[in-house]
Structure 1
Amino acid sequence: MNEKNKKPPVNRISISLPDELHADLDAMVAERGFDSRSQAINDMLRQHLAEHKREKGNEVMVGTITILYNNGTRNLQKTIADLQYQYLDEVISSLHVHLADNQTMEVILVQGPAQTVQAIADEIIALRGVITGKLQLMGAIIPPLHQRTPARGQ
């Protein structure tokens, strides 16, 4: 087996659960289609750890800012685009979809120190015309796509 296909070592732990929580866990595992309780608990732990890292504020993380806004609000789309350009180092990409009732959903892919990305999300979500928004961060990063090199003759 080559290095890429090598599975990382795992540690086994034992936990005790009240009957009701155990039943709720098994129901969730079945409803969401997890292969096992371990897989479900791994997913929950990753989410909690990502939230902990976000609160800590100094870890580089990747995530999305999802907003729903009224596209009839004067200059809102331009303001959102300008903010994304202002934070060019953190904003990787964005996608917007026009919905019914003059609403638009926009998903902005971001990466950077959690505290910085949280500040960007807060600034966007607080704009007049934004109906709701949420930042979702994960404890992962996007590898650099290209290394900047000086232009010829410089």
Structure 2
Amino acid sequence: MQRVTVTLPESLCQDLDQFVQDRQYDNRSEAMRDLLRLGLRGAQENTRENAQGEAMGVLSYVYDHHTRDLASRLMHHHHDHHALSITTSHVHLDHDTCLETAILRGPADALRAYADGVLSQRGVMHGNLFLIPVQTHASAHDHGHGAAHHEHLHVRDSF
């Protein structure tokens, strides 16, 4: 077995201790091993075959805007992937934290990679990517102005 040291903010450490107590673990290490297994399993399921196909995505995350260079790093990440972004919103939650939500569209694997680049930044505290599988269809519809060719998105059942 290897010893790994992890630095946690006080509030997260308190949450971990409460989790240990509620679930009656013998110690933090046992709880952390189970939480890591669960998190890694979920991450693997999200990246395997599900990485195929076009998708819409909603990326939401909370971050500490006082974290050194974080706002700049996030802005550069957004600009480097501008073709995936449809819109973003930014809300000030309190003096220190902000909530951002980005509506994304593109290949599911590219949206996951984009989200990983945001959520792995130091100072990002909470985050989640919700993916909606879609298909693009070119079609012609007559909306009273003659037939017009344009693309439509259709939601799929799954990837």
TM-score range, shorter chain: 0.5 to 0.7
Q: Is the 8 A contact 1:53 1:59 kept in 2?
A: no
TM-aligned CA deviation for residue 121 of structure 1: 0.3
Instruction: Please state whether the residue corresponding to 1:73 is helix, strand or coil.
Output: coil
Q: What are the Cα deviations for residues 84-124 of structure 1, in whole angstroms up to 9, with x where unaligned?
A: 11001111111110012411000011111111100110110
Q: Does residue 116 of the first structure (1) align with residue 121 of the second (2)?
A: no
Provide the residue aligned with 1:98 in structure 2: 92
Unpaired segments ≥5 residues, structure 2: 1-44, 138-149, 151-159
Unpaired segments ≥5 residues, structure 1: 1-50, 146-154
Provide the residue aligned with 2:24 in structure 1: none
Q: Is the 8 A contact 1:66 1:135 kept in 2?
A: yes
In structure 2, the CA distance between the partners of 1:135 and 1:52, relative to structure 1 (3 Å rule), is closer
In structure 2, the CA distance between the partners of 1:89 and 1:62, relative to structure 1 (3 Å rule), is same
| C-alpha separation in 1, matches of 2:60 and 2:136 | 19
TM-aligned CA deviation for residue 56 of structure 1: 2.1
Q: Is the 8 A contact 1:90 1:110 kept in 2?
A: yes
Provide the residue aligned with 2:75 in structure 1: 81
Provide the residue aligned with 1:133 in structure 2: 127
Matches within 5 A, 1:5-154: 55-140=49-134
Q: Whose RCO is larger (CA < 8 A, sep 6+)? A: 1
Q: Is the 8 A contact 1:111 1:141 kept in 2?
A: no
In structure 2, the CA distance between the partners of 1:133 and 1:90, relative to structure 1 (3 Å rule), is same
Give the number of the structure whose residues are more often strand, by fraction: 2
TM-score (norm 2): 0.53
In structure 2, the CA distance between the partners of 1:103 and 1:114, relative to structure 1 (3 Å rule), is same
| C-alpha separation in 1, matches of 2:136 and 2:92 | 28
Q: Which amino acid aligns with 2:113?
A: A
